[in-house]
Structure formats: structure tokens, C-alpha cells
Structure 1
Amino acid sequence: MAKWTPTHEAPEPLEGPVVATVTGGTVIWFVLFLVQVPFYGWFDDHGHLWWLWTCAAGAGLGLIGIWYVRGRDAALRRASAAPDPGA
């Protein structure tokens, strides 16, 4: 079986409000964590405590994601504002 090779160029990646998207997702994870905290005992009794910690991990990783995408966004802005060295 022959290896498939593309016959056309790959499209440019879609750019959107990445910082807002990651921030929104982080807020949702944190809100879900806060909603579940009052039911800690119930989750513990029924073996579903991992739900609570999954939301906490999502919020924590989201904070890292916000830091990352803000830095990426700033680097893209710096690169687009810099003069073109080839011109």
C-alpha cells in the first residue's frame, strides 16, 4: 500500500480570540469547582470525588494556559510590528 501524500498546500491556521476562549474555559472549570465544593461529602461517600478534583485541575491548567496564550499573543503582536528585515 502506497503512502498517501497531499497534493495541495495546507491551509493557514485559523486565528481567533484565543485568550478569551482559554479564559472563558478556565472560568467555567473554576465555577464548576465552586459549585461542587458544598457537596464534598456526598462526592466522597459515593466515590465521585475525582469530579471535584478534575474541575480544580482544569482551572489550574487553565491558568497556565492563560499565561501561555497571552505570551503567544504578545509575541505575535511584536513580530507583526517589527520592521521586515528582508525589505
Structure 2
Amino acid sequence: MQAKVLITLKNGVLDPQGEAVLHALDNLGFDDVDGVRVGKMIELDLSDTNADTARTRVEKMCEKLLANTVIEDYEVEIL
């Protein structure tokens, strides 16, 4: 079983990396982009065979290590 975790900054948290990408895009002539937010996507190969159990385990992983829940949100997709 595989899981994908999408981690993004919470609304209201400044995103300096996103601002740098926005500035670079503008310098390259892509001036029609109004904003950029940078996140990360993590793929996990799991030995679990039950989707509910896998989701619970991945959410625990996010809470303990994968995401900084003070400033980041996460979404889990079980495939």
C-alpha cells in the first residue's frame, strides 16, 4: 500500500521560499503569477493492507515527525 502526504504552510504563515520563486518567475517573464506557496509531498510505501489502519499510522507520522503542525497543514491520501 502506498500513501502520499501533502504538506503546506498554514494560511497566514509567511512563505519566503514561495516569495523567492514568485520573484524568479517574474524575472523570467512570467508576470501573470500573483502568488506562490511552496510545500512538500512525501510518498510512503507501507506494509499495511488495511486503508484505515494505514491512514491512522501515517497521520501519527505526520503529527510526530513529517509535519510541523504549528505552522503546517497536511493531507493524507492512501492509494
Shorter-normalised TM-score: what interval?
A: under 0.3
Name the one with the larger helix percent. 1
Name the one with the larger strand percent. 2
Taking structure 1 as the reference length, the TM-score comes to: 0.22
Q: Which has the bigger relative contact order, CA under 8 A and spacing at least 6?
A: 2
Whichever of the two has the greater Rg, that structure is 1
